[in-house]
Structure 1
């Protein structure tokens, strides 16, 4: 019998087709798996230890999946809980699950998989030679590791299998590879290893591998030779092109995918359309290797205040870059004079929205927009300093003239006050792998029985 995995969506809070989910439950899956996040949105979630998604939306969608799990009678697994998988986010997701268990009257065995790492643990591994940098990676030391707000290790299939072996109805996992929560059960049942990892990679983002990416729901059948993938929303289809193309998604190599304990090689994979909606893939290979896990860490890199002004005068719109250049030099001199700050201790970053806000100096498209938004991002060692610089810059962002002799201009602020304190700015500060002698060496499990 194949191992059947139901994936409701590429990530919890992205939404899914309810009718398709019902069809998936009726098809008797062996496990329901969904991702809880990733590093796609940047380092804030990991640095702050918070989900970027609304709690109300998380609870609403998780309620539907808990009901689906109860109907199917199979485990429900979420990986990278709370966007980043930090231990605090696992607990946050656990609290939501407890609330829903009480509201739904469900008796549950819940297992939490924690992937958080202390600076001391990683420092010891560094000194023991068990930490290796990926490319690119910053230099790390005991000092830099101690500055991390959160460090997580990416769990693989073995850690999810350990959680499944607790007999859990629901598994709330910290940071995992996107594929691990899907590949774990097929691997545990002895299905083809290459197919398990490849099918998991294809299905990790739900229906993104289909012709209707927003429909969410995907079913994957794994067996001893390959895998078959099918989208369950009406009108959605998988094609050999859409399935094979997913190896390009968030992956530097279209044929190789590294995971804890080895890598997937799809160089010889064959894709066949079984019918109008299903695709079967065979020939994928799993190549065992050293058991290493990726580490991610984030730390505070300063505090930010932003100001936004809008230029509409044609003279200023066409000379926006020159205006910003002159204003920046003026503000740096004024900050030095009035606040006594060394320019090396803070940063003024102007973004011209409508001109080059995305690519900056690399922008090669030209044109004259009706208006240009000028976003000033101030980064400083403390929020107090960033806020003070923002208040100093405020009147000049509103009235600074392009030339000395011209009439004093007035620009638009879209809101008042113009300055917004953003709080801590976080940066990724780890891109390394850590060698483990035992897959559970860097992880821990907590299992709780919950009754209504």
Structure 2
């Protein structure tokens, strides 16, 4: 059957992120239901800039290997491709190579013959500066115009690919596509789009399945299968005891989107304002009416992270009821005395170092957005020191040590004893990173910023 004759394409998404784990039997059921492709995201920016800045993964190699082994066996047995995006958490070149190394080891151990494609998404600052000078780089809110110095300061920069590089790898004969940074939706959309499915239902279905079972009534039960056709798509859980409902499916359009009805991809915008969600039975949902509007200009989003300094952390627990009744005064006193002692001992003043004191159990998470009322029962005080080098950060934290252990409020006639969580109390966290790029770059061809490498066909042992 040619691509134009395909009536539908079934996308199996076993889990929201590679390495998170899923029941093997749910993948077996997806294969039995006729899955045409296995698609799974391999990363995220949710856990902050460290993983991009350092080029390391947040997932354990053993966890990734456990998931990959199930997927590669299923791919070889059913003769269907596997597509994994944002490899190694942030999609750096080292992240792609890390996942590829794990996959190649599994193929050798299992005696499987599958061709692996690596799609690299890291960008060189020098190349981006040329595009910046040409006026082809534009900021996304809340950031302003980009300067060359910011590009030079990044330890890693990735471009977020759409479906096109993945399609190129599949057309070149890849059985397993390991992509660098990619939109979550592109991972699932690539194969159906390649086989001629319409863009509206494909991108909408891909958005719904991006987090596996999160669009079901029991997200812990495993992934989902989306069947995309020329009029819409149908989605069902891989676990027979789980269910999709119109509410659970429609609600996922609210996830990580500014607008619940419109979502931008590199090639254009998904519009679901006219989508209709219909329960086919107690487990399956049918969706029709999705549209995709092609953009006048194809853009690639850039993500970059740089080192902001080195951090040392100290954590103490407070149970003293008098301090807890005046916890904000205690925190202000801590800042004031610590600053004076650092000036006296090290001769340093902010911004030569920075101190963040978070009161967990009181208002550490939302602070003034949700102010605490009444004294807490106990508080964990986390002191985080940032400085240009590790030694300075640790020195400041050590100066804070007696204060974190015995600092009283001014009206106390005794020294309280607080409780350090660790010994030593100072924990060196190493380099700290921040995201500094939230920009898009105009491209003439969707795949021009990405590099596809396909290994020779793997041989059985």
In the alignment, is residue 97 of structure 1 matched against residue 97 of structure 2?
no
Residues 112-137 of structure 1 show CA distances to partners (whole Å, capped at 9, x for unaligned) of 00110011111111111111111112
Residue in 2 that maps onto 1:416: 423
Task: Indicate the SS of the match to 1:41.
Answer: coil
In the alignment, is residue 358 of structure 1 matched against residue 341 of structure 2?
no
Residue in 1 that maps onto 2:192: 186
Residues 164-220 of structure 1 show CA distances to partners (whole Å, capped at 9, x for unaligned) of 112111110000000001111111121121001000001111111111111222101
Task: Indicate the SS of the match to 1:345.
Answer: coil
Q: 1:17 to 1:367 in 2, by over 3 A?
A: farther
Distance in structure 1 (CA, Å) of the matches to 2:144 and 2:73: 44
Distance in structure 1 (CA, Å) of the matches to 2:34 and 2:276: 27
Q: 1:70 to 1:405 in 2, by over 3 A?
A: closer
Residues 407 and 416 of structure 2 are in contact (CA less than 8 Å); yes or no, is this contact kept in structure 1? yes
Within 5 Å, which residues of 2 pair with 1:58-77?
Answer: 58-77=64-83
Q: CA deviation at 1:159?
A: 1.2
Residue in 1 that maps onto 2:302: 295
Residue in 2 that maps onto 1:244: 250
Distance in structure 2 (CA, Å) of the matches to 1:160 and 1:236: 31
Distance in structure 1 (CA, Å) of the matches to 2:406 and 2:378: 16
Q: CA deviation at 1:138?
A: 4.5
Q: RMSD value over aligned CA atoms? A: 1.2
Within 5 Å, which residues of 2 pair with 1:260-275?
Answer: 260-275=266-281
Residue in 1 that maps onto 2:91: 85
Residues 138 and 146 of structure 2 are in contact (CA less than 8 Å); yes or no, is this contact kept in structure 1? no
Residue in 2 that maps onto 1:33: 39
Distance in structure 2 (CA, Å) of the matches to 1:215 and 1:175: 27
In the alignment, is residue 109 of structure 1 matched against residue 110 of structure 2?
no
Distance in structure 1 (CA, Å) of the matches to 2:355 and 2:179: 39
In the alignment, is residue 426 of structure 1 matched against residue 433 of structure 2?
yes
Residues 153 and 175 of structure 1 are in contact (CA less than 8 Å); yes or no, is this contact kept in structure 2? yes
Residue in 2 that maps onto 1:213: 219
Task: Indicate the SS of the match to 2:233.
Answer: strand
Q: 5+ unaligned residues in a row in structure 2: which ranges? A: 1-6
Q: 5+ unaligned residues in a row in structure 1: which ranges? A: none
Task: Indicate the SS of the match to 1:374.
Answer: strand
Residue in 1 that maps onto 2:340: 333
Q: CA deviation at 1:33?
A: 0.5
Q: Choose the corresponding residue for 1:119, options 111, 120, 125.
A: 125
Residue in 1 that maps onto 2:312: 305
Residues 413-442 of structure 1 show CA distances to partners (whole Å, capped at 9, x for unaligned) of 122111101111111100011111011210
Distance in structure 1 (CA, Å) of the matches to 2:372 and 2:393: 33
Aligned residues: 452
After superposing the two structures, state which structure 1 stretch, 365-374 or 163-172, moved more.
365-374
In the alignment, is residue 129 of structure 1 matched against residue 135 of structure 2?
yes
Distance in structure 2 (CA, Å) of the matches to 1:383 and 1:15: 36
Within 5 Å, which residues of 2 pair with 1:375-390?
Answer: 375-390=382-397
Residues 90 and 112 of structure 1 are in contact (CA less than 8 Å); yes or no, is this contact kept in structure 2? yes
Residues 86 and 180 of structure 2 are in contact (CA less than 8 Å); yes or no, is this contact kept in structure 1? yes
Q: CA deviation at 1:363?
A: 2.6
Task: Indicate the SS of the match to 1:179.
Answer: helix
Q: CA deviation at 1:405?
A: 6.3
Distance in structure 2 (CA, Å) of the matches to 1:232 and 1:55: 25
Distance in structure 2 (CA, Å) of the matches to 1:188 and 1:339: 62
After superposing the two structures, state which structure 1 stretch, 347-356 or 20-29, moved more.
20-29
Task: Indicate the SS of the match to 1:108.
Answer: coil
Q: CA deviation at 1:404?
A: 6.8
